[in-house]
Structure 1
Amino acid sequence: MKRFIAGLVGAATAVVALPASSAIAPAQAATVSFAVVDPVNALKQQFRAGRGVRLTETVRLDWKKNTTTVRRKGTLQFGPSGVVAADVVRRATSSRPVGKDIPVYVQHMINVDGKHYHCDVIPADTHLPAGKSWVRASVDRPLQKWGTVFGDQEINVFEPATLALLLRASTHRLPDQGGTQYRGTITPAELRTASRSFRETTSFGLDGKEKPGKITWRLWVNNKGLVTRLVTRDAFTDLIDDYASDTRYTDWGSKVTVTAPPADQVIDEDDVDYSTTRQTPPNAVIEQPPGS
């Protein structure tokens, strides 16, 4: 399949009983507190060179009696226009591998300076020459360019237009631990209109028409208007039974510098001979991005 897809549904409310001595006026009791900062503007204010955000993500995919769990952890670096670099480790675990597939696959990915680097940690890439662990390619391929940034989550909240779409499409707005929780449902067609990354990384159906269905989502922002969590579930493909993503965003505005792998460990993609394999795996590499 072209790409994993995502979504979710649900919510909870809580009622707190106050003692008689804590009684407040009816007008006060009816007041609810929402984040007053515009999340789209708050996102744009984060687009500063050398600053960034950290993310952790869990995706569950059920299809053909197989369950695949994908976990991502990494760091994104901003520039004036948005995300300019990313350093992420992705671990996929399959309950029932297909054919010769292994149950665990771990890949370390780095996007920086217009280049995409990937290193197969488990299993090690035995197609590479001795001493080489990383494969370098340009990021003109959409799945490499965007996949490192927002991974298996269908919705890219680092695009102001996409975030604005969610806010407009929200059917519920609830106070949540000093911030605000938004909930709603959008269609692939609506998301395609707003999201450049969605347009570039998804395809139309075999008949050339837009995929049917919907993406159900929940979005949390803190009292500064910054996104802290996105949970999604989708139901617009016959190939999978269930697809749910849960992404957390922390350390907004932290100092971030994503660097390329050591040059002596890198080989250009065009120079890799995939018709040959080595018995000795490449040099060991770290599984976690620096500072994660």
Structure 2
Amino acid sequence: MKRILAGLALASAATLVTATPAQAAPADPVKALKKQYAAGKGVRISESAVTKVSGTKTDGTVTTNGTLAFGKSGIVASDLRSGGKGASLLSAAPPRSITVGKYTYAQGGLFSQQLPDGKKWVRYPNTGIPRTGNQPLDIFRPKVLKELVSEAKSVKGGSYRGAITFGRLAKLYGEKVDKRLGKVAISYVLDVNSKGLVSRLRSQYAFDFGLLGKTTSTVNTRYTGWGSKVTVKAPPADQVIDYSELGEDSGVPQEIPDSSLDALNPVE
């Protein structure tokens, strides 16, 4: 009996030594994103968008930094600062924009020209989801993030690489795009951390519709501070003026460039 017990003890010990630890399944980026959606929480973004136009031999860079605030179903507010260098197709964004509720407030550059005394912000009706920069791939929409993850051609160490057409992206957004743009592919590299949260997204696309020549855009966005406390407030009411209150001769832009794909449609 002692020999039998000793043999069982040795066999058990050998099993413990040779057994391979179970590998934890990689975190699901979509589930990780949805867990972040809570009032008072948010994330910080830091972005660089580079546009090159061969026909004009010019290029430019637009940087965007700021904070996005979450609600139960996604982004509910944003506070962004943008800056440009050189000629760029994306430089029409205001240097500072705040979106809260039904309105977006703009300040700086053309948006601060010849405003009445005491007014520092121009208010516009909010057209939808708050601006999140110039990244065409909106990872804050679960359907889009799921597509980027599930359709990636390569997955290595939390890095997803693949491509998606503007046509497919438009369907996910519920938008329409010109057939020519719809065929253009956006290549991407999506990096997630150990918790499955997106840490970096790099996208690139190019098209040539015979207007200015070949246009190439590369957008590199970093996401930090997931789950941090975020509060975005509208500017003081006495510093705000509605665009509709400005005169016809005002040099202030009639609208704020949005993030819709429609803005990229070819111009005849």
Partner in structure 2 of residue 90 of structure 1? 82
Q: CA deviation at 1:266?
A: 0.1
Q: CA deviation at 1:193?
A: 1.9
Q: Does the CA contact (< 8 Å) of 1:232 and 1:245 recur in 2?
A: yes
Name the structure with the higher helix share. Answer: 2
1:122 paired with 2:112, answer no
Q: Deviations over 1:95-138 (max 9, x none)?
A: 5x89xxxx99851001102211111x235622311111111121
Q: Could you say what secondary structure the match of 1:253 adopts?
A: strand
| Superposition pairs of residues 26-45 of structure 1, within 5 angstroms | 36-45=26-35
Distance 1:245 1:216 in 2: 11
Number of equivalent positions: 230
Q: Assess, with a 3 A threshold, how the Cα gap between structure 1 residues 66 and 210 changes in structure 2: closer, same or farther.
A: closer
Q: Deviations over 1:129-179 (max 9, x none)?
A: 111111112113xxxx44x5322111000000000010121010101xxxx
Q: Assess, with a 3 A threshold, how the Cα gap between structure 1 residues 184 and 105 changes in structure 2: closer, same or farther.
A: closer
* Structure number with bigger Rg: 2
Partner in structure 1 of residue 171 of structure 2? 193
Partner in structure 2 of residue 267 of structure 1? 241
Partner in structure 1 of residue 224 of structure 2? 250
Q: CA deviation at 1:241?
A: 2.9
Q: CA deviation at 1:195?
A: 2.5
Distance 1:171 1:276 in 2: 50
Given residue 105 of structure 2, which amino acid in structure 1 is its aligned partner?
Answer: Y
Partner in structure 2 of residue 17 of structure 1? none
Given residue 26 of structure 2, which amino acid in structure 1 is its aligned partner?
Answer: V
Partner in structure 2 of residue 231 of structure 1? 202
156-165 or 126-135: bigger deviation? 126-135
1:81 paired with 2:69, answer no
Given residue 171 of structure 2, which amino acid in structure 1 is its aligned partner?
Answer: T
Q: Determine what percentage of the aligned residue pairs are the same residue.
A: 37
Given residue 195 of structure 2, which amino acid in structure 1 is its aligned partner?
Answer: K
Q: Does the CA contact (< 8 Å) of 1:34 and 1:174 recur in 2?
A: no
List, as ranges, runs of 4+ consecutive aligned residues in structure 1 with deviation greater than 6 Å. Answer: none
Q: Deviations over 1:220-249 (max 9, x none)?
A: 011111000000001234354321000000
Partner in structure 1 of residue 156 of structure 2? 174
Given residue 66 of structure 1, which amino acid in structure 2 is its aligned partner?
Answer: T
What is the TM-score with the length of structure 2 in the denominator? 0.77
Q: Deviations over 1:48-88 (max 9, x none)?
A: 00100000000100112111100000000000010000000
Given residue 174 of structure 1, which amino acid in structure 2 is its aligned partner?
Answer: K
Segments of structure 1 that go 5 or more residues without pairing to the other structure are 1-26, 278-292
Q: CA deviation at 1:272?
A: 1.2
Distance 1:227 1:34 in 2: 19
Distance 1:274 1:88 in 2: 28
Distance 2:229 2:136 in 1: 27
Higher relative contact order (CA 8 A, sep 6+): 1
Q: Does the CA contact (< 8 Å) of 1:59 and 1:243 recur in 2?
A: yes
| Superposition pairs of residues 19-30 of structure 1, within 5 angstroms | none
